[in-house]
Amino acid sequence: MENLQTSLHVEHEVEFKSHPGWQLIERILLTEPFQKSSRLPVLLAYLAEHSIRGRLDELTEQRIGTAVFGKSAGYRPVEDSSVRVHVRQLRLRLHEYFACDGRDETLVVEIPKGSYELVFHSAHLKPALPSPAPPLIPTKPERKRRRIGIRNFALAAALVAAVVCGLGWYHAVWASRNGDVPWPVSAVIQKDKQTKVVVSDGSSMLRLLNQRGFTLEEYLQPDFLASMTPPRMDENVSRLVKYISESQLTSFADLVVASTLTKLAGSHSDQIAFCPARDLNRWDLAQGNYVFVGGPTSNPWVALFADNLNFQTVEDTVGGKMHFLNKKPRPGEQQTYEGLPYTGSGGEDYATISLLPSGSGDGNVLILQGLRQEGTEALGVLLADSTLRAELKRALKIPEDSQRPVYFEALVRARTVAGAPVSISIVATRIISH
């Protein structure tokens, strides 16, 4: 009996592997766009296998979230849109494949909107449409016209595919040459203004030695580093403190954000100047645009804008737990949002992205602060992802044709695994009046 079951299992696997739909999926997974992605290949393979095998009860957002994205069994899809976001990206990748690399495929796969089941159909037929009644046996002239029609259709399809590919390439080149900066980065990176990106200061780690926090005023004092150094240290600790004090150190998360901003700036990237928090002074804030990366414990300059923001960073003890305080909670919102216990752990971290006018009125300020590095890194991922940017804009209810900057702040949740954000969702938003 056991041998019979094994034999049937092998036969089913052979039948599955030889299914034209699965063979199509394997070809798609080998293409460069899917090879570069970490999530979409796993998602496509999961949807394909369960669709072909007829296991449609496994194709729910809840099941996909737990099986593909490693979410807990009790997670709420209504609060976490990562499955929907990735499926939308997958639809676009499949469309690009059949317009370019897969334009000669005879079989097409689609994901109908509102469903996670894959639909396979002939390249020349639309799914879910009734097939026309078969014609009577055609005469020879009719057969000849049909062959000509098929050739013309194939030629037209090839031309359309070439145009689509060409337009995609042209758009990418045009955008990079003309520096079309996407929202909300466009509010702080402009062709006629310099933008200073102020990254966090690694020397703020010295506060852990004395278990003492500091204010912006203290940070700006000439003897700040000396004041944060313990009076008695052994030789090894003294060398470490000297290295930290004399070096320009920042975090990996800040590098992710800096890289993202440079790429999004396109031809305007020459307007960006990177500046460690330690090297900035108050006079610099009189003109231009600014991006502050990191929270007040690593980038004290963000404390200048705390009074204008609803979500305030709170550290329970120096180096201890951190949370965002919701000054004026709205219905359904929490008063506090606690992040990871420490950088590198798994769970949920929080971050805020805020756009404000500068104090001088001459420019704008973008603040990107996470409770931990994972939260800050998640904001870099959000800015780099057009789908997540669109979700943020919808959450803020900003009209597409809005010409003036809309100032705002948004609280973002990042689910993290092994120190890296794997899903991002918008928790709460505020429009900032000025």
Tokens of 149: 């029609």
CB environment 251-274: b (16+ within 10 A), e (fewer): bebbebbbebbeebbbebeebbeb
Let me know whether 263 and 401 are in one domain.
yes
pLDDT, tens digit, 9 for 90 and up, residues 7-20 = 434 455 667 888 99
Let me know whether 93 and 195 are in one domain.
no
The Cα–Cα gap between 53 and 48 comes to 8
- The maximal CA–CA distance of the chain, rounded, in angstroms, is 102
Let me know whether 398 and 274 are in one domain.
yes
The Cα–Cα gap between 57 and 53 comes to 11
Task: Please state the domain count of the chain.
Answer: 2
- Please tell me the predicted confidence (pLDDT) of residue 149: 47
Question: Residue 55: inside a domain, yes or no?
Answer: yes
Q: Residue holding tokens 């929202």? A: 183
Tokens of 338: 């606690």
Instruction: Return the amino acid letter for 91.
Output: R
Let me know whether 291 and 423 are in one domain.
yes
- Please tell me the predicted confidence (pLDDT) of residue 138: 41
Domain that holds residue 364: 185-201+250-431
Q: What percent of the chain has pLDDT over 90?
A: 39
- Please tell me the predicted confidence (pLDDT) of residue 145: 44
CA distances in angstroms from 361 to 339, 365, 430, 434, listed in the order given: 33, 10, 20, 10
- Cβ atoms within 10 A of the Cβ of 20, count? 11
**Alpha-carbon radius of gyration of the chain:** 27
SS3 150: helix
Let me know whether 103 and 197 are in one domain.
no
Cross-strand partners of 133: none
pLDDT, tens digit, 9 for 90 and up, residues 324-367 = 999 999 999 999 999 998 888 888 999 999 999 987 668 999 99
Question: Residue 163: inside a domain, yes or no?
Answer: no
Range from 70-79, 251-260, 276-285 carrying the lowest mean pLDDT: 70-79
The pLDDT-based confidence of 60 (bands split at 50, 70, 90) is very high
Domain boundary among 73, 101, 122: 122
The pLDDT of residue 300 is above 60: yes
CB of 254 closer than 8 Å to CB of 294: yes
Question: Residue 224: inside a domain, yes or no?
Answer: no
The pLDDT-based confidence of 223 (bands split at 50, 70, 90) is confident
| Residue 110 C-beta-side C-alpha neighbours within 13 Å | 13
Let me know whether 190 and 70 are in one domain.
no
The pLDDT of residue 261 is above 50: yes
Question: Residue 165: inside a domain, yes or no?
Answer: no
Whole-prediction pTM value?
0.60
CB of 51 closer than 8 Å to CB of 45: no
- Please tell me the predicted confidence (pLDDT) of residue 12: 54
The pLDDT of residue 162 is above 80: no
Chain mean position to CA 178: 23
CB of 24 closer than 8 Å to CB of 71: no
The pLDDT-based confidence of 168 (bands split at 50, 70, 90) is very low
The pLDDT of residue 164 is above 60: no
Range from 5-14, 27-36, 81-90, 333-342 carrying the lowest mean pLDDT: 5-14
Question: Residue 89: inside a domain, yes or no?
Answer: yes
The pLDDT-based confidence of 125 (bands split at 50, 70, 90) is low
Cross-strand partners of 426: 412
Higher pLDDT among residues 176 and 217, named by residue: 217
8-state DSSP, 106: S
- Please tell me the predicted confidence (pLDDT) of residue 153: 39
- Please tell me the predicted confidence (pLDDT) of residue 336: 96
- Please tell me the predicted confidence (pLDDT) of residue 18: 86
Let me know whether 191 and 300 are in one domain.
yes
- Please tell me the predicted confidence (pLDDT) of residue 403: 67
Domain boundary among 91, 122, 153: 122
Let me know whether 345 and 261 are in one domain.
yes
Let me know whether 83 and 192 are in one domain.
no
Question: Residue 77: inside a domain, yes or no?
Answer: yes
Question: Residue 241: inside a domain, yes or no?
Answer: no
Chain mean position to CA 22: 29
Chain mean position to CA 289: 23
Let me know whether 67 and 192 are in one domain.
no
Range from 11-15, 69-73, 122-126 carrying the lowest mean pLDDT: 11-15
Domain boundary among 89, 122, 155: 122
- Identify which of 11, 28, 10 has the alpha carbon closest to the alpha carbon of residue 20: 28
The pLDDT-based confidence of 231 (bands split at 50, 70, 90) is confident
- What is the average per-residue pLDDT within 138-148? 42
Higher pLDDT among residues 158 and 280, named by residue: 280
Could you tell me where the DSSP H helices lie in 74-223? 82-99, 140-178, 207-210, 216-219
Higher pLDDT among residues 421 and 335, named by residue: 335
Let me know whether 196 and 89 are in one domain.
no
- What is the average per-residue pLDDT within 172-184? 60
CA distances in angstroms from 246 to 201, 242, 253, listed in the order given: 11, 6, 21
CB of 127 closer than 8 Å to CB of 119: yes
- What is the average per-residue pLDDT within 371-390? 92
First to last CA, the chain: 77
The pLDDT of residue 133 is above 70: no
Contacts of 376 (CB under 8 A, 6+ apart): 251, 253, 254, 256, 257, 293, 294, 295, 351, 368, 369, 370
The pLDDT of residue 107 is above 60: yes
Range from 174-183, 277-286, 316-325, 398-407 carrying the lowest mean pLDDT: 174-183
Question: Residue 295: inside a domain, yes or no?
Answer: yes
